[in-house]
Every structure is written in C-alpha cells, then in structure tokens.
Amino acid sequence: MHGRPALVPYLNPSAPVPVAASALPRRAIAMMVTSTLCFGVMAVLIRIASHSLHAFEIAFLRSLFGALAALPLLLRGGWRTLYTDRLMFYVLRCAIGAVSMLAGFWAIAHLPLAQAIALSYSSPLFVTIGAVIFLGEVVRMRRWSAVVAGFIGVLVIVRPGSDAFTAASLVALFSAACSGAVTISIKFLSRTDPVATIVLLTTWLWVPLSLPAALAVWQWPSPGLLPLLVALGVLGTAGQYFWTHALRLADASTLAPFSYLQLVFVAVLAWLMFAETPDRYTVLGAGIVIGASLYIARREARLARQRNQSPPRVLGQPAE
C-alpha cells in the first residue's frame, strides 16, 4: 500500500548525474510506470492468495521471497552494501514499514481492490502532517487546504455511517499513515545510504519483523500456491527497486501523475479477474485524494526551487 517505500536513494543534489539531462525524465517515468505495474499485479496476487492464506502469512512470504530476489544486489555490490551507520534507525523504519505492510495486505484481502489502493494514496496527506510535527516544517494555507481536501476525499470513499464503512477501511488508512511515517524517515536515510543498501536492509529486516504475525496464523501453503508467492516476492522487490531509481532521476512532482496509474491498472485487473467495478464514491473520492496529493507534490517542489534546494521526494510508500 500504496504505500509506497518511499525508498529514496542516495543523491547529492549538487553532483552531476552521468546521464543526459533530457533523458532523465523519460527514464524516470519509464521506471515509475514499470514500478506501478509491478505493484498493481502484486495487489491482484495478494487477493488471489488471500483465498487460501491469511494476509499476515502472505506478507511474511512476500518478504521472504523478496529478500531472496534482492540477493543479486548483494552479489553485485559485496558485503559493503550492507554497511550503514544507522542500523537502529533502519530497524525502527522497517518495524513501522512491516506494520504498514501487514495492515495493507489485510486491507487488500478484505476491500474491493480499487478502494484499497485509493485509500493508500492518502499517504502524502499524512506525510505533510508528520513533517510539521516531527521535522518542524512550515506548511502554509495552500497546502493545509490541500490536506483538508484530501481527507474530504477519504471520507467520500469510506462513507462513515453507511453500510460501506467497515473496519477494513480504517485498517487501510492506518496502513497509509504508517507509510507516511516511513516516507519521513527516508528523508534521513537518503542523505547517506545508496539505493542497494536501502533496498537490501529494508527487504531483509522485514522477514524477522513480519514473522511473529505470520506464525500466529500459520498454515503451510499448498505446492500449487508457491509460484504465486514467489512471484509476489519478486514483483515487490522489483517494484521497490524501480520506484527507488525513478526518484533518483526525477522529483516527486514529475513522477506523481505516473505513480497514480497503479489505480488504473488495479481497477482494470480487478474488473477482468474478479468482476469488481469501482463505485462512484470510490472514483470521486480517489479523484479528490489524488488531486490533493498532486498539488502537495507540485507545491513542495516549487517551494524547494525557490529555496534553491533539491525538490523533495514526497510520494507515498507503495504497497510493498
């Protein structure tokens, strides 16, 4: 959930990138679209697997197979790839991320897919609030108005007081809030650690952190389900990797419109495979949430340019 990590790679804004400047946005957009495809298919596989296994066990197995899929990063970079001065910060970040993943997977298993993904897009709203509380950032009236509008969109989707309002909707919002906390933590990690380190440590730490919840509901998956679970891990790690590299090459305001393609992919796949069609409230609310998030991303990028800073990476954590 949509999540995303916001896994942001190491990038010195003042250092030249050895790629033609005109090619950077195209490459970044291609990577972001590839990432959204990976996460969209992953959401569908989570729903299929949830017919046989509990969402907590699926989250653990996604982490386990995802950790194995990340091994090429270690083979390419060597053991030094795992070095960091902020191991305990990673543990805290990954603990929050694991909670977000468990909640997000559970929401995907119990909500219409399009609704679950739409609610995950509220993550940037929580990022803005958290940046004020924990980072001391100054947010003025325009962005606060966008945050309020975004939460109005959330209310349109969940419709408190109606039959459509369920515990799963609250779990999806909780996952988005945790994802926002993870995004804020990356503001620190991205200053010192490269992409491979962030992806490897995050993926590997999720395995022990998600295990206790999985053990509480454990049942051995059937052999026929194993290829699907392996695909979950591979898609999750691949999506995370492409997402990270996209943010290395372009700022969030450029990539945000393409990151929201995940909702389109998921809606089409849910219609084809599960005969699910988003209701008008989900479509309207998602439009409001996405519009508010796009405004926040573009506004923060404009303010960063005025301060002569690197544009912020404020995309929410995808459903990992």
Task: Spell out the domain ranges in the chain.
Answer: 23-306
Q: Whole-angstrom Cα distance, residue 167 to residue 25?
A: 40
**What would the 3-class secondary structure string for 59-127 be?**
HHHHHHHHHHHCHHHHHHHCHHHHCCCCHHHHHHHHHHHHHHHHHHHHHHHHCCHHHHHHHHCCHHHHH
Q: pLDDT tens digits, residue range 23-46?
A: 567 788 888 889 989 999 999 999
* pLDDT above 90 (res 146): no
Task: Take residue 110 and report the two structure tokens written for it.
Answer: 């119990």
Closest to 199 (Cα-Cα) out of 3, 4, 8: 8
Give the distance, in angstroms, between the CA of residue 193 and the centroid of all CA atoms in the same chain. 19
* pLDDT above 80 (res 306): no
pTM of this prediction exceeds 0.85: no
100-133: b (≥16 Cβ within 10 Å) or e: bbbbbbbbbbbbbbbbbbbbbbbbbbbbbbbbee
Q: What is the DSSP letter of 272?
A: H
Q: To the nearest whole number, what is the mean pLDDT of the chain? A: 81
